Amino acid sequence: MNTEVFAARHIGISEKDLPQMLKTIGVDSVEQLIHETIPDDIKLKKPLDLPAGISEHEFLDHLQELAQKNKVFKTYIGLGYHESLTPSPIKRNILENAGWYTAYTPYQAEIAQGRLEALLNFQTMVSDLTGMEIANASLLDESTAAAEAMTMLFELRNRQQKKDNASKFFVSEEVLPQTVSLLETRAIPLGIELVIGNHETFDFSSEYYGVLLQYPGKYGQVYDYGSFVEKAKANEIKVAVAADILSLVLLKAPGEWGVDVVVGTTQRFGIPLGYGGPHAAFFATKEEYKRSIPGRIIGVTKDTDGNRALRMALQTREQHIKRDKATSNICTAQVLLAVMAGMYAVYHGPEGLKYIANKVHKHARVLVSTLESHGFQQTNTAYFDTITVKVKQVEKLKQATEGKGINLNYVDPETVSISLNEAVSDQDVQVLVSCFLEAHNIQRKEANIAKEEAIPTALQRKTAFLEHEVFNSYHSETELMRYIKRLERKDLALNHSMISLGSCTMKLNAASEMLPLSWPHWGNIHPFVPLEQAQGYQDVLKSLEDQLNVITGFSATSLQPNSGAQGEYAGLMVIRAYHESRGEGHRNICLIPASAHGTNPASAVMAGMKVVVTKTDERGNIDVADLEEKVQLHAENLAALMVTYPSTHGVFESSIKQITQLIHDNGGQVYMDGANMNAQVGLTNPATIGADVCHLNLHKTFAIPHGGGGPGVGPICVAEQLKPFLPSNPVIKTGGKEAITAISAAPWGSALVCLISYGYIKMLGAEGLTNATKAAILNANYIKDRLKGKFDVLYTGERGRAAHEMIIDCRPFKANGVEVTDIAKRLIDYGFHAPTVSFPVAGTLMIEPTESESLAELDRFCNAMISIREEIDEASADEPNNVLKNAPHTLGMITNDIWEHPYSRQKAAFPLPYVAENKFWPSIRRTDEAFGDRNLICTCAPIEAYAEA
Ligand SMILES: *Cc1c(COP(=O)(O)O)cnc(C)c1O
């Protein structure tokens, strides 16, 4: 074996496994299998036009070299992004630890209690600091969180007041520019009218349903919004505030004014800047809005034995499950980053956070006093960390700072704003001062440090926060390390076993792809620095766009969307802009097959489209006759078809070209949901099937880890005619000639993790990528044929083949009293995470092995499934005390002196020999969903609970 070929490390099976696998499937060669799987008329005729792969060490050298092209300045630009210090134990034990970053979204609560607890900490931290009752478990970035607030409040108004005329949303001119741009994008399709202005002269007229304020303002002024909020309330106008999380340590919490929503980012709680992301945003609100909250919420409940258990709360769990009734399409959020930010608060505790906030604030005051002593005027009457200074020699100041490797925020020809952060030292403050003196030719003199407060008493925080035990226990590294490990042990991630989640593509996230994320030359770049300071990033992002253009067959790519769902929305908005540019703005019908992922209809509604659902036939394919009928019916107004390919049923539909042609013939555009791109790369592509735009989930197909539910990157790739409309950013120019406004806060979305996908493509090369696709299809078909006779596969292609995943039908087992959930939970006893449960068909499992699994692991999984099938046969609807219904079995159950089950402990916990070698113990039994939703608790228990105990 050539030990330098990355493909051999990434792909789990090898030449020697082939004869056995091919025999099981009943084909002579992989080529024959592919031939029987992918329709001939969409197969690529040529290999991908990408270079050959490079080795892992070559890739790391290459990224070292590129990293040197990024210039790490001391950056005081602020605007929602601040240099932060990631505590080393958090970096090493979470960010660099596969036990954390390779976990999936915690749908299977019994094997996810660790990250659920970490997220509960995050929610508690956010609730405490904002002074709000309830917080979710992260959103994509501050600007999208603000947009979610705008739309949630609009929806609430519409529902409560049966559509009065209040459709205006006021946005303070103090709000960050990227947020304003994003609000514009999101407001237009929903008929919300944005009015941007000075909150001090706002008239509170009845046309407004809501407002957004920034706290502190974008250049650091701290306003007292108390009387504003009061007036707004009196006029039935809801108030959302975008707040800086660190400032809330010293400033009065917005919740104390009675605001309705508080949003923001937790980036400065130990998360690298990463040229824009990924970072976890937060969304905190009142308990009364709990059913309208976007994203996921972690809640406390109990398990079968009555023990405390955590799980995703409110049975709908996520808005997008409501499909076209949803008000948000958030699916993947920013779990790994939320875990890190929450752990930052655990490590520092309330006293540590106060130390940090005070240090930052003190540096700001010293800077102000010193500048004022030298005759400069600072204009913020109250400030936390960001000051605004009037300058005469702005050009000279720029020269002086740039010469010393410093970035300031140049507001206008006479004003600069300087935003300080945790990483600033006394020395850094003095260097800043000397830049001002040098530029203005002033001699340094002794400075007086001002006595008066920079934060007026009325705005100072008086309330306690983070009093819970978890924030007051782990302040030494040993304690923190063990706490992190204790949580990690409760979670099953890819470093334990295969996670065969259909549609989610849980493949290897290679260490070499991940390593550069830790390097300061990638981590410590602010998204709004001048392009010449980020040439390393520009090289990578441009190359990645080119790579994705080649792979999809399209003309251009925008890396801005931070998740697949965000990509869907971006793509539909681009289609919308395209129709408008042709004078066809009336086109607003979006056809979506019934089997589509819930985010598809949710995104379409957010883009102002009307969803028309089309049927699937008995083979699971799009019912072409029904589609034709609906196309004809809506031909005048047809905007788009959203289609997943291969379908969510795991099949390459052979009529796809006919379908896309039909849409084009009737003036529509075709949006391809690219979640299943892992079955296409190198063999076919979206352009070939006739699509016009697709998103890719870089966190599925292109090796970015799921991180327990994020980060994600959902770029859109478009055909030539849609290229002009790719999204822009108001601070750093990106996107097409007639660009739509922002989709994400940062110009290139979550640039830092784009390094992973870039590395994946670069190391596999054209041949490796294509072989990965073939292996994914081979592995899926191997599982399908090994399970033959035991489980029925719901849909296959015309020649009986699955694509890269398959749906197995578990509904017949109801006769034995066995539900699909019982199988999912029983798999835990065998050491496996369940496949996707009940999507896209209720009562089924969707299995996707990916190319990264070895034959041995595929066999262990198949053996587990076959063994479970025998257990299903033994089960009866009359006897619920059986091994399936009681699953998963905890160590507590097995070692209990009382054992009242008609099967052995051995059978319960060690059902097959391989299990003993690598036993995974779930930390709780099944969670009680209904109990948790009736008694919704979304924060750590209050301090009184400990006092009572
Ligand atoms: C995962 C998935 C999505 C949503 O992607 P996110 O990154 O979670 O927003 C959309 N469609 C399909 C078919 C998916 O599997």
Q: Which atom of ligand 1 is nearest to the CA of 563?
A: 7
Q: Which two tokens stand for residue 125?
A: 């931290």
Q: Rounding to the nearest 10 degrees, give the CA dihedral for residues 259, 566, 136, 753.
A: -120
Ligand 1 atom showing the smallest separation from residue 566 Cα: 9
Bridge partners, residue 390, by sequence? 377, 415
Concatenating the DSSP letter of every residue in 690-705 gives T-SEEEE-TTTTT---
Based on the number of CB atoms within 10 Å of its own CB, is 401 exposed (0-12), middle (13-18) or buried (19 or more)? buried
Look over the chain and give the mean of its residue pLDDT values, rounded to a whole number: 96
**pLDDT over 50 (residue 946):** no
On whether the CB atoms of residues 593 and 614 are closer than 8 A, the answer is: yes
Q: What is the pLDDT of residues 216-243, one digit of tens each?
A: 999 999 999 999 999 999 999 999 999 9
* Residue 541 CA: distances (Å) to CA of 83, 525, 528, 879: 22, 14, 15, 58
pLDDT for 933: 78
What is the percentage of the chain residues whose pLDDT exceeds 70?
Answer: 98
- Model pLDDT, residue 943: 53
CA of 569 to the centre of ligand 1 (A): 12
Q: Among 213, 193, 204, 196, which residue's Cα sits nearest to residue 236?
A: 204
pLDDT at 36 over 50: yes
Residue 885 to residue 868: CA distance in whole angstroms: 12
Kindly report the number of other CB atoms within 10 A of residue 495's CB atom: 14
Dihedral of CA atoms 815, 820, 824, 826 in degrees, nearest 10, equals: -10
CB 744 within 8 A of CB 570: no
Say yes or no to pLDDT of 948 above 90: no
| Number of Cα atoms under 13 Å in the Cβ half of residue 23 | 5
Task: Using the mean position of ligand 1's atoms as its centre, give its distance from the Cα of residue 903 in Å.
Answer: 40
The answer to whether the beta carbons of residues 92 and 517 sit under 8 Å apart is: no
Q: How far apart are CA 166 and CA 94, in angstroms?
A: 46
d(CA 321, CA 310): 20
Task: Return the residue whose CA atom lies nearest to atom 2 of ligand 1.
Answer: 675
Give the per-residue pLDDT at 945: 53
Q: Is the pLDDT of residue 616 over 50?
A: yes
Q: Residue 740 and residue 722: Cα distance in Å, rounded?
A: 11
Parts of the chain belonging to CATH 3.90.1150.10:
349-459, 767-931
pLDDT of residue 546: 98
Neighbouring residues of 19: CB distance < 8 A, sequence distance ≥ 6: none
Label residue 270 left, alpha or beta by phi (over 0 means left) and psi (-120 to 50 means alpha): left
Please tell me the distance from the alpha carbon of residue 561 to that of residue 889, in angstroms, as a whole number: 41
Residue 448 predicted with pLDDT over 90: no
Tell the residue number behind the tokens 């769902």, with chain if given: 565
Which token pair is 750? 């979550």
By C-alpha distance, which of 855, 807, 812 is closest to 835? 807
**Residue 947: pLDDT band with limits 50, 70, 90:** very low
| DSSP for 806-863, written as a single string | EEEE-GGGGGGT--HHHHHHHHHHTT-B--EESSSSTTEEEE---TT--HHHHHHHHH
Alpha-carbon gap, residue 72 to 80, rounded angstroms = 18
3-state SS, 447-498, equals CCCCCCCCCCHHHECCCCCCCCHHHHCCCCHHHHHHHHHHHHHCECCCCCCC
- Distance, CA 225 to ligand 1 centroid (Å)? 39
Find out whether the beta carbon of 385 lies less than 6 Å from any atom of ligand 1. no
For 844, other C-beta atoms within 10 Å of its C-beta total 25
**Ligand 1 center from residue 461 Cα (angstroms):** 41
Q: How many beta carbons lie within 10 A of that of residue 548, not counting itself? A: 26
Mean pLDDT of 647-658: 94
Is the Cβ atom of 678 under 6 angstroms away from ligand 1?
no
CA pair distance 825, 834, nearest whole angstrom: 7
pLDDT of residue 321: 73
Q: Would you place residue 674 in the very low, low, confident or very high pLDDT band (cuts 50, 70, 90)?
A: very high
Does any ligand 1 atom lie closer than 6 A to the CB of residue 401? no
The three-state DSSP-derived secondary structure of 744-780 is CCCCCCCHHHHHHHHHHHHHHHHHHHHHHHHHHHHHH
Q: Is 564 in the pocket of ligand 1 (CB under 6 A)?
A: yes
| DSSP code at position 192 | P
Q: What is the pTM of this model?
A: 0.97
CATH code of 349-459, in short, is: 3.90.1150.10
Phi, psi of 486, rounded to the nearest 5 degrees: -60, -40
Q: Is the dihedral of CA 18, 23, 27, 28 positive or negative?
A: positive
Distance 115 CA to ligand 1 centre (A): 21
Residue closest by Cα to atom 7 of ligand 1: 564
CA of 330 to the centre of ligand 1 (A): 10
How confident is the model over 456-508, as pLDDT tens digits? 999 999 999 999 999 999 999 999 999 999 999 999 999 999 999 999 999 99
Helices (H), 205-301: 226-234
Distance of CA 287 to the CA centre of its chain: 24
Task: Outline where 29-71 has alpha helix (H).
Answer: 30-37, 56-67
Ligand 1 near 503 CB (within 6 A) = yes
Pairing of strands 208-215, 168-172: parallel
Q: What is the pLDDT of residues 271-330, one digit of tens each?
A: 999 999 999 999 999 999 998 999 999 999 999 999 999 999 875 556 677 788 888 999
pLDDT in tens, 895-924: 999 999 999 999 999 999 999 999 999 999
* HSE (side-chain half, CA atoms, 13 Å) at 768: 24
Place of tokens 């994705």: 548
Ligand 1 and 675: CB distance under 6 A: yes
Task: Tell me the C-alpha distance between 483 and 346, whole Å.
Answer: 10
SS3 string, 93-118, reads: HHHCCHHHHCCCCCCCHHHEHHHHHH
Whole-angstrom distance between the N-terminal and C-terminal Cα of the chain? 60
Per-residue model confidence (pLDDT) at position 317: 59
Q: What is the DSSP string of 576-638?
A: HHHHHHTT-TT--EEEEETTS-THHHHHHHHTTPEEEEE-B-TTSSB-HHHHHHHHHHHGGGE
With a 6 A CB cut-off, is 673 part of the ligand 1 pocket? yes
CA distance 868 to 915: 14
CB 332 less than 6 A from any atom of ligand 1? yes
264 touches 81 (CB < 8 A): no
> 243 phi and psi, to 5 degrees?
-120, 150
Q: How many residues does the chain have?
A: 949
At residue 163 the predicted structure's pLDDT band, cuts being 50, 70 and 90, is low
Q: Is 266 helix (H, G, I), strand (E, B) or coil?
A: coil
Predicted confidence (pLDDT) at residue 932 exceeds the cutoff of 90:
no
Q: How confident is the model at residue 162 (pLDDT cuts 50, 70, 90)?
A: low
- Residue located nearest, by CA, to atom 11 of ligand 1: 597
Whether the CB-CB separation of 280 and 94 falls below 8 Å is answered with no
Whether residue 207 contacts residue 168, with contact meaning beta carbons closer than 8 Å, is answered with: yes
Phi-psi region of 317 (alpha: psi -120 to 50; beta: other; left: phi over 0): left
Contact 345, 471 (CB under 8 A): yes
For ligand 1, say whether the CB of 776 is within 6 Å of any of its atoms.
Answer: no
At residue 184, the 3 state secondary structure works out as: helix
- Nearest atom in ligand 1 to the alpha carbon of residue 714 is 7
Asked if residue 719 has pLDDT above 70, the reply is: yes
Site to substitute for ligand 1 among 318, 503, 836, most atoms within 8 A of C-beta? 503
586-600 average pLDDT score:
95
pLDDT digits (tens, 9 = 90+) for 858-900: 999 999 999 999 999 999 999 999 999 999 999 999 999 999 9
For the Cβ of 331 lying below 6 angstroms from any atom of ligand 1, the answer is yes
The pLDDT confidence band at residue 949, using thresholds 50, 70 and 90, is very low
| Structure tokens, 736 | 């097409």
Q: How far apart are CA 302 and CA 283, in angstroms?
A: 25
Ligand 1 test: best mutation among 332, 506, 676, 706, most atoms within 8 Å of CB? Answer: 332
pLDDT of residue 449: 77
| Predicted confidence (pLDDT) per residue in 65-85, tens digit | 999 999 999 999 999 999 999
> Are the CB atoms for 777 and 796 separated by under 8 Å?
no
Whether residue 597 has its Cβ less than 6 Å from ligand 1: yes
The band of 158, judged by pLDDT with boundaries at 50, 70 and 90, is: confident
Ligand 1 center from residue 602 Cα (angstroms):
12
Residue 714 Cβ < 6 Å to ligand 1? yes
Q: Is the CB of 565 under 6 A from ligand 1?
A: yes
Backbone angles phi, psi at 665, to 5 degrees: -60, -20
Cα–Cα distance measured from residue 806 to residue 501, given in angstroms and rounded to the nearest whole number: 10
Higher pLDDT, 619 or 387: 387
Pocket test for ligand 1, best of 599, 600, 642 (most atoms within 8 A of CB): 599
Q: Which amino acid is at 612?
A: V
Helix (H) or strand (E) holding 929: helix 929-934
| CA 564 to centroid of ligand 1, rounded, Å | 5
The minimum-distance atom of ligand 1 relative to the CA of 712 is 7
Superfamily of domain 767-931: Aspartate Aminotransferase, domain 1 (3.90.1150.10)
Tell me which long-range contacts 544-550 makes (C-beta under 8 A, separation of at least 24).
544/754, 544/757, 544/758, 544/761, 545/715, 547/50, 547/758, 547/761, 547/762, 548/696, 548/715, 548/717, 549/717, 550/48, 550/49, 550/50
Query: What pLDDT score was predicted for residue 161?
Result: 61
712 lines ligand 1 (CB under 6 A): yes
